[in-house]
Structure 1
Amino acid sequence: MNIKNALNRAAVFYKDGSFTESLSLCDKVLAKKSTVQEAMYLLALNYQGMGRYDQAITAFEKLLKVHGNNADVFNAISNTYICLKDFSSAEKYCQMALKFEPNFAEAHNNYAICAHNTQQIELAEKHYKQAILLKGDELVFRLNLGKLYKELGRFEHSNETLLKLMEFNGDKSAVYFNIYDNFMYMHQYQNALEVADMGLVSQQLKDIDLIELLVGKAILFWLFDNVDEAEQAIQLSEGVYTYPEGNYENLTNLKVFHGYLKRLIAFYRENESLYTERQQDLYFISESHGFAPNNMRVTFEQQNFNIRSLFVKGAKVFHFSQQQNNRFKESLNRVMTGLPENSAVVFAFGEIDCRYNEGILKYCLAHDADYKNIIDKMLASYIDALITQGQKKKFKVIIYGVPAPHADQLKFLSEEHQVILKNIIQYFNETIRALCKKNGLAFLDVYQLTNLAGQSNNKYHIDDIHVHPSVVPKLFEKLN
């Protein structure tokens, strides 16, 4: 066997993502000569590419032992630990790489990723900028900095950084989507729609990225009360169901949004009489739970309103109770600042905090924490912030609770954890109801309406997460 030819073929296989074939060639080379540096390095990279991270780390460490310290290898190990989400270990190897090669752009980027994920925000920004300074044509470095700014709620800085990427060659999918996302968080919906259209006509996106922007357009058209256009976007994005789970980071959410909007559009077609010509607005600020009541007619304090839903994607009560800045707090602050004085405003957050796979339950199980203490502190901070901000604009603040959990969500948990989650959701609603009573706030008790023995009574859910559009008007009837 010609070692040089074998290594060349192994390198080609690796670049093509054919890790098994590349690994086999590396094994053959190393069987013939066990200390060939390039083969040892490629072997470790193939393990990393195959997701066999422990074997990758072992192979990298063996390489260092045989051939000595090497900045590329240290950085590759940091990549592996980043894949494992062990950011403290990854940071250590980034530091070692930069010690041997201070101007190593990829190591600065990895260091920034570690700092970003351990909330060392200033350090993350510094190293992203250093990576860009050293290698300004690397699209991913600027993209990462743009994402950091977005997470901090610095949306204008994020868009400024991302727009520079339009000058570069390469995949623009994440660029379009993150600019679109920033405009959504800024509640500049027309700008978001224009960016989505730019991405769709650019002919630079993969099919799944086109689907993501089409679902985004469907959300916007639904919020704009343009049901025909929303329906067309949903029809054009039916391909979302052809993608297997695990192949795309946001696929699960895309499928949920797609199915939810299809059901809302069908409900609209069957109940158009409920969606009257728009009167004065009652604002409903929420994550996706706000889609259902949009444009429904309600009566509050003897006045007729139509609900105007405003979207803060993925927001939890947890985000609003944090001291540090984040995109959810900034988005809520911007939308509240932009509303007219004396508005009636519903705040409908908390369902994501109370899901089976994230939020309060996940945290309590991981840290052996008392959910009551967490809920007490979180909700007290949340309600206080809403009251303080609402008083500036003389809002009539209305709080919406959390629905009882659907059986199709509970089935993912053991019986023991089902009981805990049911208790969490019950206590969450009891606590927020008591805070509303204490502070003289109206409370829309969706839990009481949907509950049967701690879970959904199956009368009001439109899917396994969201409730029917008719639920919020019914709750206002009970409130009145």
Structure 2
Amino acid sequence: MENLSRNDSCPCGSGKKYKRCCLQRDEALAASKRAEAATIRKHIQAALEHHQAGRIPQAEALYQQVLRIDQNNPDALHLMGMIARQAGNYDMAIELINRAIQIKPSDPVYYNNLGPAYKALSRPEEAIASYQHAIAIKPDYADAYSNMGNVLRDQNRFDEALACYHKAIGIKPKFVEAHFNLGNILKDQGKLDEAVASYQKALAIKPDFADAYCNLAVVLDGLGKTDAAIASCQKALALKPDFAEAYNNLGGLLKDQHKLDEAIPCFQKALAIKPDYAEAYNNLGDALKNRGELQEAIACCQKALLLDPNGLPGLDSAVRLATLYYLQGDLPQAARMIELARPILEKTGSKFRAAQTYCRYIDMLLSWWQQAGPALQSREGAETIYVIGDSHILSAHNVPILKAGKPFLCQGRWIEGCKQWHLGNEDGNPYKDQFQSIIQSIPHYATILMSIGEIDCRPDEGIIKAWKKHPEKTIEGIAHATAAAYLKYVSQIAAPRSQKIIISGVPATNLSLENIAGDELKQFVGLLDIFNSMLREYSLKAGMDFLDVFTMTNSGNGISNGQWHLDSTHLRPDAVVEAFEKHYLSATAR
């Protein structure tokens, strides 16, 4: 057939010469096919131009025209799959791209573009297999290596992901996305200096890479370079004014610098750009809580939880809501928040220790109030004791006590994560801002109990950590400086309002101590004794009363006597009653 001459007999069997029989028909058919092919090429080229320019409806219309001409055109099927993927229709994307692969299994681009659809549907193994197919066809396919690294990173398979990124960069040294992705995984691993270097390489290749500036800001903040981090966020926003993530990151940096009036508008701008941004709602809720706008904070946390009930913003918001509801006396809602947080914590393991601690603690408080709470009787005419501090204030909240025979009702004022060191530190910080705001909201001449827990006295934090960093100092010296600065600050802030300050000691430890070595254990329990002695001595000398919960809970060696602890660090509500009745030291009685 291929060597058929015009003068040969026509293969149709008519007996006529080919030129007198089927040649014209075959030539017409060939011309038609050439015309169709030209039309398809023209439509595909025009569609790609629309597609790359973001004119998706026009691109889709042209791809559809191609498929009407040739329903099995692999390029049109593949590109329709790309449109489906970009629209979030991942199942359709997988179906269309797989059809293209069946027709043309030798194209590595199809496999590379199939992977992200599987990734979006949480089908990582199929995504990885797609990239491996692409690489098998094209061993120097840098994009496929980088994309496979992203999936492996999500699976916490960091070594494999790193190998993929390095392979991609080895193939394509100026591959900006691979340098960026390498920076991301180094950030996740806490290798912050290396992450900075990777982001800077990405920016050297692509100076207008807003995402790299945004992520670089996070790493710089982790290195303590806050001003540089803020500048990096601002650069990202200059390049990309509608960058919600950069506004959110900038807000977080400003919040940490206790610039709430600047941070809050950043979170609000992020939400104006991206209304379903759970992390920004969570951060805005935290900032509003720190500014004392509790109802607005609750509304933001509720929104974050609604948008991301199974993720970290949802967890953070659920725990914060549980605490705020508990402080508002809405115990059923607090219990509901704990139930919502529990499955997230089970999924994330021990990674989020603070959230786990709050959840267990509030859950145990709720059970305690249900079982033993009715025995605590509030008395008519009770005055308020305002209890300011970290999580330990929850044990005292709404507890009726007698102080020198006079009835009081404790009311908590929460400063999340606050340490004695934070308030005694000469530099400004969000904890001091919150403390001053709370003090201003409490009436003149009111009674205040400072109930800040054990964070400064933990075996792996606070005073011991500072001593290990500065071994030329002594534990006693650091404890003295911390206690003295804390008490001086509290006294100075409360004095203009003539508020009566009571200082609570730190309870004996109820931690599991099996994994603490002998010398370290001795240092730890010794610190508890030293720090409480200093708090007691200095507060009484300064005219502040002292609540000696250490003596009440101490078995004699700094370890809990097992009578009053609710969990490993917090006391039961009835311990507050006991402390005021039997372990209250008055400065005026000395």
The CA deviation at 1:258 is 3.5
Matched, 1:335 2:335: no
Partner of 1:282: 385
Is the 8 Å Cα contact of residues 348 and 399 (structure 1) preserved in structure 2?
Answer: yes
TM-score, normalized by length of structure 1? Answer: 0.87
Instruction: Please point out which of 191, 205, 225 is paired with 2:296.
Output: 191
Partner of 1:180: 285
Which residue identity is paired with 1:354? C
Partner of 1:349: 452
Name the CA distance, whole Å, in 1 between partners of 2:184 and 2:301. Answer: 32
How is 1:137-286 mapped onto 2 (pairs within 5 angstroms)? Answer: 137-169=242-274, 171-196=276-301, 203-206=306-309, 213=317, 215-224=319-328, 226=329, 229-235=330-336, 237-243=338-344, 244-246=346-348, 249=352, 251-266=355-370, 269-273=373-377, 275-277=378-380, 279-286=382-389
Question: Greater shift after overlay, 251-260 or 327-336?
Answer: 251-260
Give the number of the structure with larger relative contact order, counting CA–CA contacts within 8 Å between residues 6 or more apart.
1
Partner of 1:291: 394
Partner of 1:26: 131
Name the CA distance, whole Å, in 2 between partners of 1:365 and 1:51. Answer: 32
The CA deviation at 1:214 is 5.3
The CA deviation at 1:367 is 7.2
Name the CA distance, whole Å, in 1 between partners of 2:294 and 2:372. Answer: 22
Partner of 2:413: 310
Matched, 1:86 2:187: no
Name the CA distance, whole Å, in 2 between partners of 1:277 and 1:129. Answer: 56
Name the CA distance, whole Å, in 2 between partners of 1:21 and 1:412. Answer: 42
Partner of 2:552: 449
Identity among equivalent positions (%) equals: 22
Partner of 1:6: 111
Q: Is the alpha carbon distance of 1:298 and 1:346 closer, same or farther for their aligned partners in structure 2, counting shifts above 3 Å?
A: same
Name the CA distance, whole Å, in 1 between partners of 2:465 and 2:121. Answer: 38
Partner of 1:130: 235
Q: Is the alpha carbon distance of 1:235 and 1:323 closer, same or farther for their aligned partners in structure 2, counting shifts above 3 Å?
A: same
RMSD: 3.0
Is the 8 Å Cα contact of residues 219 and 230 (structure 1) preserved in structure 2?
Answer: no
Q: Is the alpha carbon distance of 1:246 and 1:211 closer, same or farther for their aligned partners in structure 2, counting shifts above 3 Å?
A: closer
Equivalent pairs, count: 473
Q: Is the alpha carbon distance of 1:42 and 1:212 closer, same or farther for their aligned partners in structure 2, counting shifts above 3 Å?
A: closer
The CA deviation at 1:404 is 0.9
Instruction: Please point out which of 446, 451, 465 is paired with 2:569.
Output: 465
Gapped regions of structure 1 (runs ≥ 5) = none
Name the CA distance, whole Å, in 1 between partners of 2:132 and 2:318. Answer: 46
Is the 8 Å Cα contact of residues 506 and 532 (structure 2) preserved in structure 1?
Answer: yes
Gapped regions of structure 2 (runs ≥ 5) = 1-104
Q: The residue matched to 2:573 in structure 1 has which SS?
A: coil
Matched, 1:404 2:508: yes
Which residue identity is paired with 1:434? E
Q: The residue matched to 1:454 in structure 2 has which SS?
A: coil
Q: The residue matched to 2:401 in structure 1 has which SS?
A: strand
Which residue identity is paired with 1:142? Y
Question: Greater shift after overlay, 449-458 or 251-260?
Answer: 251-260
Which residue identity is paired with 1:172? Y
Deviation sequence 1:156-208 (CA, Å, 0-9, x none)? 322222122333346432233222222322233333344445567xx534256
Q: Is the alpha carbon distance of 1:279 and 1:189 closer, same or farther for their aligned partners in structure 2, counting shifts above 3 Å?
A: farther
Name the CA distance, whole Å, in 1 between partners of 2:392 and 2:302. Answer: 25
Is the 8 Å Cα contact of residues 47 and 55 (structure 1) preserved in structure 2?
Answer: yes
Q: The residue matched to 1:397 in structure 2 has which SS?
A: strand
Is the 8 Å Cα contact of residues 255 and 263 (structure 2) preserved in structure 1?
Answer: yes
Q: Is the alpha carbon distance of 1:457 and 1:44 closer, same or farther for their aligned partners in structure 2, counting shifts above 3 Å?
A: same
Which residue identity is paired with 1:344? T
The CA deviation at 1:312 is 0.4
Is the 8 Å Cα contact of residues 322 and 338 (structure 2) preserved in structure 1?
Answer: no
Name the CA distance, whole Å, in 2 between partners of 1:134 and 1:41. Answer: 24
Deviation sequence 1:311-363 (CA, Å, 0-9, x none)? 10111223223344332221112112332223322212241223355444455
Deviation sequence 1:17-55 (CA, Å, 0-9, x none)? 444443344345445543222223224333433333344
Is the 8 Å Cα contact of residues 153 and 331 (structure 1) preserved in structure 2?
Answer: no
Say which one has the larger Rg: 2
